[in-house]
């Protein structure tokens, strides 16, 4: 489990940021994206994937959440 931050970039897309490893990557897809359920599996552009427990859609980004690594791009 790692703390990650999800923020919005200028173009409106979601960006994944893992402070511990200074890993920044655009989020290609998010499993759940509705007002009451938001989160699930995040697919990153670098090939990695993380799982975030679904929560109600945050009113404001960025938000720090706990995430579990499913598959990383490197190693």
Partner 1 sequence: MAALTREESAALIAEVLEVYPEKAKKDRAKHLMVNDTTLESSKKCITSNRKSLPGVMTMRGCAYAGSKGVVWGPIKDIISISHGPIGCGQYARAGRRNYYVGTTGADAFCEMNFTSDFQERDIVFGGDKKLAKLIEEIEILFPLNKGISVQSECPIGLIGDDIEAVSKKAAAQIGKPVVPVRCEGFRGVSQSLGHHIANDSVRDWILSNRDGQAFETTPYDVAILGDYNIGGDAWASRILLEEMGLRVVAQWSGDGTLAEMENTPNVKLNLLHCYRSMNYISRHMEEKYGIPWMEYNFFGPTKIKESLRKIASFFDDKIKAGAEAVIEKYTPMMDEVIAKYKPRLEGKKVMLYVGGLRPRHVVGAYEDLGMEVVGTGYEFAHNDDYDRTIKEMGDATLIYDDVTGYEFEEFVKACKPDLIGSGIKEKYVFHKMGIPFRQLHSWDYSGPYHGCDGFAIFAKDMDLTLNNPCWNMMKAPWDKAAVAAEQKAA
Chain residues in the site for partner 1 (CB under 8 A): 5, 7, 17, 19, 22, 24, 45-46, 60, 62-64, 73
**Which is it for the CA torsion 26, 30, 35, 36, positive or negative?**
negative
Choose among 17, 22, 12, 75: nearest CA to 45.
17
Q: How far is the CB of 70 from partner 1 (least distance, A)?
A: 18
Closest to partner 1 by CB, 22 vs 36, is 22
Contact 5, 64 (CB under 8 A): yes
Closest approach, Cβ 9 to partner 1, in A, equals 11
């Amino acid at each position: 489990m790692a703390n990650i931050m999800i923020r919005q970039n200028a173009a409106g897309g979601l960006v994944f940021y893992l402070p511990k490893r200074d890993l920044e990557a655009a989020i290609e897809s998010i499993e759940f994206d509705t007002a009451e359920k938001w989160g699930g599996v995040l697919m990153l552009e670098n090939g990695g994937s993380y799982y975030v427990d679904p929560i109600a859609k945050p009113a404001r980004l960025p938000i720090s959440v706990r995430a579990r690594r499913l598959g990383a791009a490197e190693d």
